[in-house]
Homo-oligomer: A and B are copies of this chain.
Amino acid sequence: MMRLKTEVVTVHTTHPFVIARGGSSEWRVVWVRLIDEDGVEGWGEAAPSRFYGETADTVLAALERLRAIIEGAHASDIELIESAMVTTLRFNAAARCGVSAALHDLQGKRLGVPLWKLWGLTPSASPRSSFTIAIAADEDTLRARVREAVAAGYPILKVKLGSDRDRRIIQLVRDEAPDAILRVDANAAWTPKQTLAMAPLLTELCVEFIEQPLPPTDIDGLRFVRDRCDLPIVADESCLVATDVAKLVGVVDGVNLKLAKCGSLREALRIIHTARAHGMLVMAGCMIETSLGITAAAHLGPLLDAVDLDGAALLRDDPFVGATITNGVVTLPTAPGLGVTRR
């Protein structure tokens, strides 16, 4: 039987992180620890998303509610524990995700292999990660951020749009980063009309794809836009779990999975497999989270087309060391489990 321990960890982004819905500089995440009878310990991160009604405090409350399931189970019964958690607490994906990551960390540590190896994957197959350019207060700040990202060697930039200056922003980013691969993310802020109005400029600037232009539930709108737009459309807020992929077939070209949305590393695999069966592009993103959470997602890398795993790179006080990103190249740990240590 395992013991569950939780701890709130407060971290700060180097710059205020602002997207279409607002932003902040201080972020509270929950460090989940599962300690097995013999002392072997698995770690996971629960990065709460305000968009889904979560804060560090709701995560802690959710974990208390899940405590009996976790502490009453055998650590190796991962599928069973995850199912029981979903039945007990369908929402609160971040909390469940922290437990799922900790269970997989524990399993890898017990067997003495990194998670990617446990899954039969090859780290070199991981795509390079993008770096996110958040919405800046003014053009000088934006220009400085793009130059910083280019100087840091990121070959792919993901540009947050959904402001009243979107055309200026993307044009400025392209001017400052002429060789970068650009992707844009409107975080559900556009209408179908706005999306189609932006599309020609985005195509002209060689943007690779548009992430979540429309509100999450506007499935008809996404289909409408996709049918009329040259650029691939990728669903983020519209796609939480694998059954959402089923609903998005013929509606979008790809999905962006996040562990904090789907609540489980296994659900992430289910999303990947379902999307692949339908010939859809699959990427993984992240919240603002530490290297503990990022590393869990990074282990999925070899199965993905694109990754956006800069959540920890945006922090100035990341308390964990795990997967690293240099020039966009994701290097997976070789230590057992997630392979994450405390700094």
Contacts and interface: CB of A to CB of B under 8 A. Distances in A.
- Taken together, the copies of this chain in the complex come to 2
B120 A77 contact: yes
A76 interface: yes
A270 B277 contact: yes
Contacts of A270: 273, 276-277
Interface string A74-103: 001111100000000000000000000001
Interface residues of A, number: 34
B243 A246 contact: no
Interface in A131-180: none
A335 B77 CA distance: 17
Q: Is the interface of A mostly helix, strand, loop or mixed?
A: helix
Contact of A79 (B113, B121, B274): B121
Interface of A: 76-80, 103-104, 107, 111-113, 117-122, 125, 242-243, 245-246, 249, 266, 269-270, 273-274, 276-279, 302-303
Contact of A112 (B111, B242, B276, B279): B111
Contacts of A112: 111
A120 B83 CA distance: 12
Contacts of A107: 120
